Amino acid sequence: MNVHNDVENWVEPYLTEGLSPAEREEVDRHMQTCAACVTVLSDAREFARFIFASLESWRAPADLEERVVRGLRREGVRSRRRFLSIEKLHVPGWTRIAALVLLFIGVGVLVQPVGLYSVGAARRAAQQATAPREEGRRLQERSDKTRLGVELRKAEEPNEMAEAEDFDEASRGDRGVFKSKGYSGGIGGGGGGRLNRRMPVENLLGGKEVLAVEKASAPASTVAADYQDRKIVKSGSLDFEVDSFENAYQRIVEIAREDSGFVASSSTQKLPNGKVRGQVVIRVPAEKFDAVVLKLRALGDLKNQSISTQDVTKHYVDLDSRLRSKRTLEERLIKILKEGKGEIKHLLEVERELGKVREEIEQIQGELKYYDNLISLSTLTLSLAERDIEQPFEYVQTLQAKVDVTVDDADAAYAKTHDIVKEIKGHILDARMTRQQDGSAKGFIKASVDAEKFPGVLEDLKKLGTPTEATVTQQQQPIGGKEGKGSPDAPVRKEQAVMDLTLSTPPRVVTLNGDVSVETPEAAGAYEAARKAVQDAGGKILDGGMTHHVDGSSGTLKVEVDASKFSGLVDTLKRLGKVKTATVKQQEPPKGIEIRRELGRLEVSVMTPGRLVQSEEGIGAALRKSVRGLVFSLQMLVVGAAYAGPWLLVALLVLFLIRRARKRRASAQQA
Amino acid sequence: MNSDTELATKARKGDAEAFEALVRRYARLVWATVAGMIADPSWTEDLVQETFLRAWKSVDQLEDAAAFRPWVLSIARRLVFRHTELSRRPLPDVDEVEPQPKSLDVEEARRRVQAALQRLPERYRLPLALRYLNDMDYGRISRELELSNGALRGLLNRGVKMLRRELTPFWKAQEEL
């Protein structure tokens, strides 16, 4: 590499020991003679130092690795076998046994019916997870050997709902109201009556039989007859006609709450005739079901009622036994994994199986929970519809008015109308303004006002200008009552009055035309004065402006003013200076337009004499004119020359060539 | 000496010692990654620890034992994003801060340099972070990042160039003090 030219590229590697020994030598050698590169290097070093210094507080500590490791150890990072989480704690032997015993007891609590499985049954369970029948039979054998047992024989037909024991409700923990019946194999262990909490599952891991069966309190024979409890899902639907949906709803909420229930959902619908109908679904404890239905009857007219009960015991029981056999399987698999014997491949399969089984367990638990919910809380669907309340008979009076008013100023009248309507708390339904070509405007306002206030409003509107039309229509319509019949004395309900107001300005007609020009030494001042005069006369300035020349200034105004003010304004303007012109012409208004606004148009100009002097008179002007003319012709000349130029050149060239040719011919002849 | 892949395989099975060896190996790299992403350096060590803790907890989900490095770095990055969201610490924007050549604020210097670093794309930032924050030399950096000599040279050179471009005005101002 060319050290000097590549200095940018080797500087950083140099500083970080990134150059090969050969490269480094080359660089060192070069720097002995090249001050520039030395400077670059030291500069880079400085920069690096700057960075290092700046980031000092951010550098990793020298013992970072140790610290992290220590921290991890503190957080409990320890070696572990992947599959078993039970052995995470390394505690002395006896606590381990105690922990396991407690574990068994706990498991036993959860899987109570499994209570009497022996080791053998567990092993077989792993192979026959789906054969409850088998289990039942096996259990029967077993049960003969245990101290419990007459009842077991009754559980011979696994899927029959034979009477069986009742399990301690409390022991069910999260199962709520669990009353089991006649299970297949699973229950078998229940045998003689009440099974107590302290029913541990056997020790799957150690092969010891830890059957601490506590004797049932009641003798076996009585159990069978006692419990008719099955898994029942109760639901009902009631249709009511009510006076008020709101009230009925409130009452429903009360009733539900009184009996420890709640409103699960509700939906309402408002019908076109204003009536409300809806549905309310409530859930109440199953045992309160009948009482609640009775209470609900009082809500209104009961049009329809249907109650249904569904016996889901069989399904429930099936689920439960499936659950238990899956649990057994789960334990079995865990055991296999713990032993860890066999090929990795096999163990991995077992693990996968375990995952599947666990998923299935959760699924079944979910279903059971769902059923528990349905069973313990009954569902009541209430449909409520509001009755049609009879309308009393009455007359409805509607007022409609059409008003046209001619006003001077449409905008002002328009605004005033808005105010009037607002003041009496009426509503503007529609409003717009249009402007015509001739400058006149029209306003349309549709408003609704209180029928009582209507006459007053009408008067106010008429006062806006000259009313040209004001028609009021009144209508009375009977409604309500039975078949539209009613007495003439029935009340009259006055509805709002609707008004259609049209505001128009009269067309404008110019009947006067004037022209005033004055001379004044102070044009600007006169201009302002003229403007003010126009404004004072209520006129409008259509156009105008001041122009300033070198030798003076002038101002012009185009004015429109009411005809009545016209002559007054002209007089005022004439007084602004020396009058040069003042003409007024009068025009006949076109026929046929009665109401109109007569206007006059004025052209006003003010100027300073200076300008006037500079009109086309005087020697100076003549001189200037001739100068201008000369300049102009000069300009034309230049332009002409610009155009003629190229042609001239062409002509010259041609001449030149001809001359040359002639010369040549001449010399050729001579030669 | 166990290769990283061997260590990772063992760690996956639950061998804490193997995992610790990996921790030692990658602590600095994670440090450099984290430091390059956050505004407040006091969090760096915590985040590094947390990264490895999470890595341990989920090490059994590591699919490819040979890819431990990118895996643990992605954990680190995710952690930093969450951390940044939670603490809502915006990165300081150098442009908004007027250079104040008169101040000798070291904190200021750190913030600026850090901000300049963090604005670099990661492939430039990481080698520089390893160099400046971890005092690693060329050889170590190229091993950590598994880059060839030529590639690393290019990255370092360009990285420093970019840093200089951003920081020279500030640096020169500091120099004058």
Which of A15, A24, A58 best probes binding to B when mutated, by most B CB atoms within 10 angstroms? Answer: A58
CA atoms within 13 A on the CB side of A331: 25
Judged by a CB distance cut-off of 8 A, whether residue B172 touches chain A is no
Work out the average pLDDT over B150-176: 85
Per residue in B30-42, pLDDT (tens digit) is: 998 888 888 777 7
Q: Which residue of B has its CA nearest to A7?
A: B157
Pairing assessment for the beta strands A508-519 and A441-449 based on DSSP bridges: unpaired
pLDDT tens profile A332-363: 888 888 887 788 888 888 888 888 999 999 89
pLDDT band at A128 (very low <50, low <70, confident <90, very high): low
B112 part of contact set with chain A, CB < 8 Å: yes
Per-residue confidence (pLDDT) for residue A217, from 0 to 100: 41
A414 contacts A503 by C-beta, under 8 angstroms: yes
For A54, the closest of B20, B44, B110 (CB atoms) is: B110
How many residues appear in chain A? 671
| DSSP-derived secondary structure letter, A161 | -
Average of per-residue pLDDT across A71-99: 66
CB contact under 8 A, A60 and B164: no
Which residues 35-94 on chain B approach chain A with CB closer than 8 angstroms?
A: 35, 41, 44-45, 48-49, 52-53, 56, 60
Q: Which residue has the tokens 């030692």?
A: B24
What does the CA dihedral A291, A293, A296, A300 come to, rounded to 10 degrees? -140
* ipTM (interface predicted TM): 0.80
Look at residue A192 in the predicted model and tell me its pLDDT. 38
Query: What amino acid occupies position A126?
Result: A
Q: Are A299 and A251 in contact (CB under 8 A)?
A: yes
pLDDT for residue A392: 61
Written as six digits, the tokens of A72 are: 């991890």
The gap from C-alpha A148 to its chain's centroid, in whole angstroms, comes to: 66
Provide the 10 A C-beta neighbour count for residue A229: 13
Nearest-by-Cβ selection for B114 from A58, A67, A72 = A58
What does the mean pLDDT of chain A come to? 75
**DSSP state, A24?**
H
Q: For the residues A588-612, what does the mean pLDDT come to?
A: 71
B14 interfaces chain A, CB cutoff of 8 Å:
yes
Whether residue A99 has pLDDT greater than 60: yes
Residues from A contacting B (CB-CB < 8 Å) are 8-9, 12-13, 16-18, 44, 46-48, 50-61, 64-65, 67-69, 71-72, 75, 77-82
Provide mean pLDDT across the span A399-427: 86
Of B89 and A93, the structure prediction assigns the larger pLDDT to A93
d(CA A146, CA A152): 11
pLDDT of A462: 85
* Nearest by CB: B56 against A59, A65, A72: A72
What are A304-315's pLDDT values in tens digits?
Answer: 889 888 888 888
Query: For B134, which of A16, A53, A60 is closest by C-beta distance?
Result: A60
Alpha carbon separation from A561 to A439, A506, A539, A558, A577 (Å, rounded): 14, 15, 4, 10, 21
Give residue A321's pLDDT. Answer: 92
Contact A17 B139 (CB under 8 A): yes
Q: What is the pLDDT of residue A382?
A: 92
Query: CA A285, CA A263: separation in Å to the nearest integer?
Result: 12
**Nearest CB neighbour to A82, from listed B13, B149, B174:** B13
Which has more confidence, B8 or A229? Answer: B8
Is A642 exposed, middle or buried (CB count within 10 Å of its CB: 0-12, 13-18, 19+)? exposed
pTM (2 d.p.): 0.32
Asked if A597 and A507 touch (Cβ cutoff 8 Å), the reply is: yes
* Helix/strand/coil for A9: helix
Tokens of A21: 């020994």
Q: Which residues contact A5 (CB under 8 A, 6 or more apart)?
A: none
Backbone angles phi, psi at B83, to 5 degrees: -60, -45
Per residue in A495-521, pLDDT (tens digit) is: 778 889 988 887 777 788 888 888 888
Question: Positive or negative, the Cα torsion across A411, A415, A418, A424?
Answer: negative
Q: What is the mean pLDDT of residues A51-63?
A: 85
Across A180-184, A637-641, A664-668, B91-95, which has the greatest mean pLDDT?
A: A637-641
**What digits encode the pLDDT tens for the residues A414-470?**
888 888 888 888 888 888 888 876 667 888 888 888 888 888 888 888 888 888 888
By the CB < 8 Å criterion, does B116 face chain A? Answer: no
Looking only at the bridges linking them, the beta strands covering A232-242 and A377-386 are parallel
Q: E-assigned strands of A64-223?
A: none
Q: Longest C-alpha distance within chain B, in Å?
A: 58
| Residue A159: predicted pLDDT | 39
Q: What is the pLDDT of residue A666?
A: 78
pLDDT-based confidence at residue A614 (cuts at 50, 70, 90): very low
Bridge partners (DSSP) of residue A585 are A513
Label residue A221 by pLDDT band (50, 70, 90).
very low
* Rounded mean pLDDT, A650-663: 90
Paired tokens of A292: 């609640």
Contact present, A585 and A522 (Cβ < 8 Å): no
**DSSP secondary structure string, A594-644?**
-S-EEEEEEEEEEE-HHHHHTSS-SHHHHHHHHHHHHHHHHHHHHHHHHHH
How far is it, in rounded angstroms, from Cα A619 to Cα A565?
Answer: 45
Which of B92, B90, B119 lies closest to B105 in space, CA to CA?
A: B92
Specify the long-range contacts of residues A418-427, CB closer than 8 Å, at least 24 apart. Answer: A418/A445, A420/A457, A420/A460, A420/A461, A421/A445, A421/A447, A421/A449, A421/A457, A424/A449, A424/A450, A424/A453, A424/A456, A424/A457, A425/A450, A426/A450, A426/A453, A426/A457, A426/A496
Q: Is B105 on the interface with A (CB under 8 A)?
A: no
Measure the CA–CA gap between A187 and A115, rounded to whole angstroms.
9
> Is residue B107 over pLDDT 90?
no
Q: Tell me, what's the pLDDT at A195?
A: 37
* pLDDT-derived band at B97, boundaries 50, 70, 90: very low
What 3-state class would DSSP assign to A330? helix
Q: Which residues of chain A are within 8 Å of residue B112 when distances are taken between CB atoms?
A: 54
Residues A218-228 have a mean pLDDT of 41
What CA–CA distance (Å, rounded) separates A665 from A658? 10
- Find out whether A10 and A1 touch, Cβ atoms under 8 Å: yes
Please choose, from the candidates B94, B98, B68, B76, the residue with its C-alpha nearest in 3D space to the C-alpha of residue B163: B94
Verify whether the Cβ–Cβ distance A57 to B138 is below 8 Å: no
| Beta-carbon separation of A69 and B24 below 8 A | yes
Considering only residues A119 and A49, tell me which one the structure prediction assigns the higher pLDDT: A49
Amino acid sitting at position B102: K
pLDDT digits over A366-378, tens only? 888 888 888 888 9
- Chain A nearest CA to B161, separation (Å): 9
d(C-alpha A301, C-alpha A387), whole Å: 10
Predicted pLDDT of residue B1: 52
Query: Is there a contact between A18 and B153 if contact means CB atoms under 8 Å apart?
Result: yes
Q: What's residue A115's pLDDT?
A: 43
Residues of B in contact with A18 (CB under 8 A): 137-139, 149, 152-153, 156
**pLDDT tier at A622 (50, 70, 90 boundaries)?**
confident
What mean pLDDT is predicted for residues A278-284?
A: 91
